[in-house]
Amino acid sequence: MDGRVGEVDGGLVEALFFVFRPNILCFQNTVLKYLHFNP
């Protein structure tokens, strides 16, 4: 049971990272553009 739960947790973490990483990069780009145009 423990091994199976560990695999599920690992997959969930990878899935969340895969989903949120592009959003974080987009957010960073938006902030950089805002700072660039409003020094």
Q: Please report which confidence band the pLDDT of residue 39 belongs to, taking 50, 70 and 90 as the band edges.
A: low
Tell me, what's the pLDDT at 5? 58
pTM score of the predicted model? 0.40
pLDDT tens digits, one per residue of 16-32: 888 888 888 888 899 88
Integer Cα distance of 8 and 18 in angstroms: 15
pLDDT on residue 36: 82
HSE-up (13 A, CA, CB side) for residue 35 = 6
